[in-house]
A and B are shown apart, each in its own frame.
Chain A
Amino acid sequence: MEGLFYAWQAVTSMPVLAAAVGGVLWGILGGALPGISPSIAMALLLPFTYNLPPLVAVVLLAAVYVGAEYGGSIPAILIRTPGTNSAAATVIDGYEMQRQGRGGEALGLSLVGGTIGGLFGLILLSTLTEPLASLALVFTPPAYFALGILGISIIGSLSEGALLKGLIAGVLGMMIATVGTDPISGVSRFTFGNPNLLEGIHFILIMLGIFAVAELMTQAGEERWTEGSRPDTTNARLKLPSLATLWRLRKAQGIGCVLGAVEGAIPGGGGSVAAFLSYNEARRWSKEPEKFGKGSEEGVIAPETANNVVSATAIVPTLSFGIPGSNSTAILLGGFLVHGLQPGPLLFTTNPDIVYGLFGGLFTANIMMFLLGIVILGPCIWLVQRPKPYLMAAIFGLVVSGVYSIDHSLFDLSIVLVAGIVGYVMRVLGFPHLPLILGLVLGYMIESNYRRALLITNGDHIVFLQDRVSLGLLICAALIIFFSALREVRRYRKPIVLPESQIQENKHDAASFPS
């Protein structure tokens, strides 16, 4: 009841409402721009959240995530270019519908499916998070250390086919987290006498560099944009589906809801996996499977419902245990940490207004997505048609100005540029980004709890095995790493011969984790 009160308070609060509207708007526009993933759209806003009240900040970031998942389907349907990874499945039938002059219908299905999916995911988020989080109320410093290790071990399930690269990236992230003043003794580490490094390297700077600057670098390296190139966006008038149509498509929506819920809660699952699985299952269970690939309505609504369910359920592990399972939720976690809020069980008792307020804000964001989705199509098309160099310049301008607003320091901007180079090199070499971010955000939690636990026991490591929760979590972590390694070994024993073009694609995909 108390939760409902906080959620209602958030829904009726003007700043939260403005954050939900602004976030969804930014998310749809960002998602509509190919190359700007939900995580990049969120990372670009992260510096702005610094001076905002905590609830407004997290609602703003979560609303961007919600909006971007729908925004990604707009170019997928209109110009056969998915704006986000998870909109890739929508291209198949969405673009086919556009070619048949039914682009407006496809956009309507995507919007309604996305709204239904988002609201369904929100119900799951608000009912599942607290019971899961309450499990962690019995956590001691050894258990928190083990939880951090479990979080890092998720790298194993995230690094399909690149386990060693994922682990290396995770260790590098933790190394970055050690820069600055030691949390226990106050001794400075790896600062090289530079006072700017005493407070450590802020993860926002690394996130902006790794996601936004590295993306700009990749785009600058791609084939040159030429003057006059403009995508064809005819038949672009949104047409909402009737209730009868929605009833006819209920099975496809149900499949999207179920698979989106499952995939969202699993770290590393992500919107793209959920969307493709839903597309596949919708075809399997469809009465008209032959229509798939030829402009099937079910082929649009199933993946679009699924990826919007994911935008809510992916927040469950982040809020319950403070462990993000995707790039976007890692940035949302950053939004919490910036304001000194540590997601996890205690957040429900210390800051219930933030948790339930976020649920309220997400509800508003989903409703706003539906309303804004109807009117924003025109600006989205205008934006998609803008010359790419203008967009890149504007994004770079936003990055350099936003970074300065964090700490009023040009040194921070240099760190972002260096992080951009690191992110670019990682992309080129096929190193995943998310493990580095996980190592960075979990590094502090792991170190401080590890040392706190050892301070209590005078340096006796047996404490990590005596604490039942810690032991259980460490066993889970070991199992995850073991099975990931086993899968990796099996993969190497059965090498798959790929054509050269596909090898290049895979190299790119390895760097693009679920967003």
Chain B
Amino acid sequence: MRSNLITGVLLLVFSVIFWLGADAIPKSRLSGSVGADGLPKMLAIALGVLSIGYLAQTLLTARMAGPVVGPRRETKTVDYTRHLRAIGMIVLGAVYVAIVPYLGYIPSIALLLLSVALYNGKRPSRGLLLFAVLGAIGFYLLFVRLLEVPLPAGIWPSLIG
């Protein structure tokens, strides 16, 4: 229930911010009677109304259900750890975004394959290393050679001259 209330409040705050953002959209004579800010403002109002409805629904449901026994501390910790582990995948992705312009595609994708497999429970082994290296080469052949996608080469070409 608590998470629903927090979600409702956050959505309500977001609807206000979105309204303010829509209000700041420059006016243009070409926009017609509604204007470029017309739909965004309507959406902000809709989200605001729906968030209030959501909050009311949460409170009503809680009232109908009676006193709620809170989840055990253990369950909360398990949930917390689960979410942190999930966020870890995004961190790995963000690190990839940060290093690929410098390291280039092949080393970066190899590191990504290695780190994601390790992060998800694979023990370090020669097989894992081979998977990362062969995987990176496979991706390189598929994307750069076959599909001709100009993936970042990194600092290597400038070092080689």
By a beta-carbon cutoff of 8 Å, the part of chain A in contact with chain B is 48, 51, 164-165, 167-168, 171-172, 174-175, 178, 182, 184-187, 189-190, 213, 216-222, 224-227, 387-390, 392-394, 396-398, 400-401, 404-405, 408, 410, 413-414, 417, 420-421, 424, 428-429, 446-447, 450-451, 454-455, 458-459, 492, 495
Q: Which residues of B contact A389 (CB under 8 A)?
A: 116-122
Is the CB of B13 closer than 8 A to any CB of chain A?
no
Q: A429 and B4 in contact (CB under 8 A), knowing A167-B50, A389-B118, A447-B39?
A: yes
| Residue from B32, B35, B36, B87 having most chain A Cβ neighbours under 10 A | B36
A186 to B57 CA separation, bound complex (whole angstroms): 40
Contacts of A219 in B (CB 8 A): 120
Chain B residues with CB below 8 A from A424, complex form:
86
Distance in angstroms from B73 CB to nearest chain A CB is 16
Task: Assess A400 versus B25: contact at CB under 8 Å? Given A189-B40, A220-B120, A413-B93.
Answer: no
The answer to the question of B151 belonging to the interface, with a C-beta cut-off of 8 Å to chain A, is yes
Please report whether the interface of chain B is mostly helix, strand, loop or mixed according to DSSP.
Answer: helix
B109 touches A400 (CB 8 A): yes
Please state if B85 and A220 are interface contacts (CB–CB under 8 Å): yes
Given A48-B147, A213-B89 in contact, is the A495-B64 Cβ separation under 8 Å? yes
Report whether A227 and B34 are in contact in the complex, using a CB–CB cutoff of 8 Å. no
25 A-B residue pairings within 8 Å (CB atoms): A51-B147, A168-B50, A168-B51, A171-B47, A175-B43, A175-B47, A187-B28, A187-B31, A187-B36, A213-B89, A217-B86, A225-B121, A389-B122, A396-B112, A396-B113, A397-B112, A398-B139, A408-B150, A417-B93, A428-B83, A450-B34, A451-B34, A454-B34, A459-B34, A495-B64
Bound-complex Cα distance A398 to B64 (A): 47
Quick check: A185 and B40 within 8 Å, CB to CB?
no
CA distance A172 to B120 in the complex (A): 32
Residues of B within 8 A of A (CB): 3-4, 7, 11, 18, 21-22, 25-26, 28, 30-40, 43, 46-47, 50-51, 53-54, 57, 60-61, 64-65, 82-83, 85-90, 92-94, 96-97, 100-101, 105, 109, 112-114, 116-123, 131-132, 135, 139, 142-143, 147, 149-152
> A459–B31 Cα gap in the complex (Å)?
11
How far apart are A53's CB and chain B's nearest CB, in angstroms?
15
Across the interface, which residues of B come within 8 angstroms of A398, CB to CB?
139
Q: Report the minimal beta-carbon distance from A146 to chain B, rounded to whole angstroms.
A: 15
Chain B residue with Cβ nearest A181: B36
Contact in complex: A222, B82 (CB < 8 Å): yes
Q: Which residues of A contact B61 (CB under 8 A)?
A: 492
Q: Which residues of A contact B53 (CB under 8 A)?
A: 164
Q: With contacts A187-B25, A187-B31 known, is A450 near B120, CB below 8 A?
A: no
A168 proximity list for chain B (CB < 8 A): 11, 47, 50-51, 54
Task: List A contacts of B96 (CB < 8 A).
Answer: 400, 413
CB distance from B92 to the nearest CB of A (A): 8
Q: Are B143 and A405 in contact (CB under 8 A)?
A: yes
Whether A417 lies near B97 (C-beta < 8 A) is yes
From B50, B96, B113, B123, residue with most partner A Cβ within 10 Å: B50
Question: Which residues of A are found within 8 Å of B11, using beta-carbon distances?
Answer: 168
Option from A225, A393, A451 in Cβ contact (under 8 Å) with B112: A393
Instruction: Please tell me if the beta carbons of A184 and B122 are within 8 angstroms of each other in the complex.
Output: no
Shortest 9 CB-CB distances between A and B: which pairs?
A459-B33, A217-B86, A389-B120, A221-B86, A393-B116, A182-B36, A221-B82, A389-B122, A185-B31
Q: Contacts A182-B28, A401-B142 given; 19 further ones with Cβ under 8 A?
A: A164-B53, A168-B50, A175-B43, A175-B47, A178-B43, A184-B32, A184-B36, A185-B32, A189-B36, A226-B121, A388-B120, A389-B121, A394-B113, A396-B112, A401-B139, A401-B143, A420-B90, A454-B32, A459-B34
Which residues of A lie under 8 Å from residue B4 when comparing CB positions? 429
Complex CA gap A275/B56 in Å reads 36
Question: A397-B109, A459-B32 given as contacts; is B121 within 8 A of A224 (CB)?
Answer: yes
Chain A residue contacts of B3, Cβ below 8 A: 429
Least CB distance, B113 to chain A, in whole angstroms: 4
- Docked Cα-Cα span, A5 to B113, in Å, equals 46
CB of B57 to closest CB in A, whole Å = 6
In Å, the complex CA distance between A80 and B99 comes to: 41
**Chain A residues near B150 (CB-CB < 8 A):** 408
- Asked if A417 and B90 sit within 8 Å, CB to CB, the answer is yes
* B46 → chain A closest CB, angstroms: 5
Query: Hey, which chain A residues are within 8 Å of B131, CB to CB?
Result: 390, 393
The docked-state distance in angstroms from the alpha carbon of A470 to that of B105 is 51
Residues of A within 8 Å of B31, CB to CB, are 182, 184-185, 187
A216 to B96, CA, bound (A): 16
The answer to whether B122 touches A390 (Cβ under 8 A) is yes
Docked pose: A376 CA to B115 CA in angstroms:
30
Q: How far is the CA of A310 from the CA of B21 in the complex (A)?
A: 42
Known: A168-B47, A454-B34. A225 touches B120 (CB 8 A): yes
Instruction: Report A-chain residues with C-beta under 8 Å of the C-beta of B112.
Output: 393, 396-397, 400
User: Chain A residues near B92 (CB, 8 Å)?
Assistant: 396
How far apart are the CA atoms of A408 and B119 in the complex, in Å? 28
CB <8 Å contact, A458 and B18: no
Are A404 and B57 CB-contacts (below 8 A) given A397-B135, A397-B139? Answer: no
Contact: A408 with B149, CB < 8 Å? Answer: yes
Check A227/B122 contact, CB under 8 A, given A168-B47, A221-B83, A393-B135. Answer: yes
Beyond A48-B147, A428-B83, whether A220 also contacts B47 by CB under 8 A is no
A405 to B150, CA, bound (A): 8
Q: Is the CB of A178 within 8 A of B51?
A: no
Query: How far does the alpha carbon of A447 sit from the alpha carbon of B32 in the complex, in Å?
Result: 12
Contact present for B123 and A227 (CB under 8 Å):
yes
Report how far A171 CA is from B53 CA in the complex, Å: 14
User: Which of B33, B118, B149 interacts with A405 by CB under 8 Å?
Assistant: B149
Taking a contact as CB atoms under 8 Å apart, the answer to whether B30 and A185 are in contact is: yes
Partner of B85, one of A221, A227, A397, A455: A221
Rounded to whole angstroms, the CA-CA distance of A394 and B116 in the bound complex is: 9
Q: How far is the CB of A183 from chain B (nearest CB, A)?
A: 9
With a cutoff of 8 Å between Cβ atoms, the chain B residues found around residue A446 in the complex are: 39
Q: How far is the CA of A190 from the CA of B118 in the complex (A)?
A: 39
> Within the complex, what minimum Cβ distance (angstroms) separates B41 from chain A?
10
